[in-house]
A and B are shown apart, each in its own frame.
Chain A
Amino acid sequence: QVQLQESGPGLVKPSETLSLTCTVSAGSINYWYWSWIRQPPGKGLEWIGYIYYTGNTNYSPSLKSRVTMSVDTSKNQFSLNLTSVTTADTAVYYCARGGGNFDSWGQGTLVTVSS
């Protein structure tokens, strides 16, 4: 069964860039869509966007101006960059397999935006 693992800094300063990587194991990144989803503490889920293994992307309009996703098929990884972060971006960030049906998830990583 495919496994996903998020990695990256747990603390980011306001106005800086949040960068996370998701490593896929026990399966190939090829031929799948991959998504990022976040959850502020105590709140619901928000889809950030997806990337296809070819590099095609689809971002949520609410975050589109600040989001960039990329994929490295040689490393079986995909990444998220979120620029100009504020405290409102504090959340658990999940990577997941799928562009619309999210059938496998990473364990999530808490990113706190604070000076």
Chain B
Amino acid sequence: DIQMTQSPSSLSASIGDRVTITCRASQNISRNLNWYQQKPGKAPKHLIHGASTLQSGVPSRFSGSGSGTDFTLTISSLQPEDFATYYCQHNHSSPRTFGQGTNLEIK
């Protein structure tokens, strides 16, 4: 199985901050990488596919980059609604696996 490791596991930031979350795959997954946002008690929301393509309706302050084994999710200017847990997930092969999550909290 491909292991997905996110860092940091938790992050405190302020409104307006620029934040970056890192996701590392245990082997080359090309650009077969998704990002999701999950708020407490809610289902995950698909933000990005193909490492960098925003889903329809996702604000442009979100961006993704990377290929191979190293990927990043960046939020350019944090808004109140962005405080949530973020997960990366590969779809390079089976089984699909998720990172352990990054909990983004208000400082």
Contacts and interface: CB of A to CB of B under 8 A. Distances in A.
A11 interface: no
B96 A94 contact: no
Contacts of A99: 91
Interface residues of A, number: 20
A58 B71 CA distance: 26
Contacts of A101: 34, 46, 49, 91
A100 B97 CA distance: 10
B59 interface: no
B83 interface: no
A107 interface: yes
B63 interface: no
A47 B99 contact: no
B87 interface: yes
Interface size bucket, B side? 20 to 34
A105 interface: yes
B46 A44 contact: no
Interface of B is mostly: loop
Contacts of A14: none
A105 B43 contact: yes
Nearest to B95: A60
Given A44-B99, A44-B100, A107 B43 contact: yes
Given A100-B91, A101-B34, A101-B49, A47 B44 contact: no
Nearest to B93: A100
B64 interface: no
Interface of B: 1, 32, 34, 36, 42-46, 49, 55, 87, 89, 91, 94-101
Interface of A: 35, 44-47, 58, 60-62, 94, 99-108
10 contacts: A45-B87, A45-B89, A47-B97, A60-B94, A94-B43, A101-B46, A103-B46, A105-B43, A105-B45, A105-B46
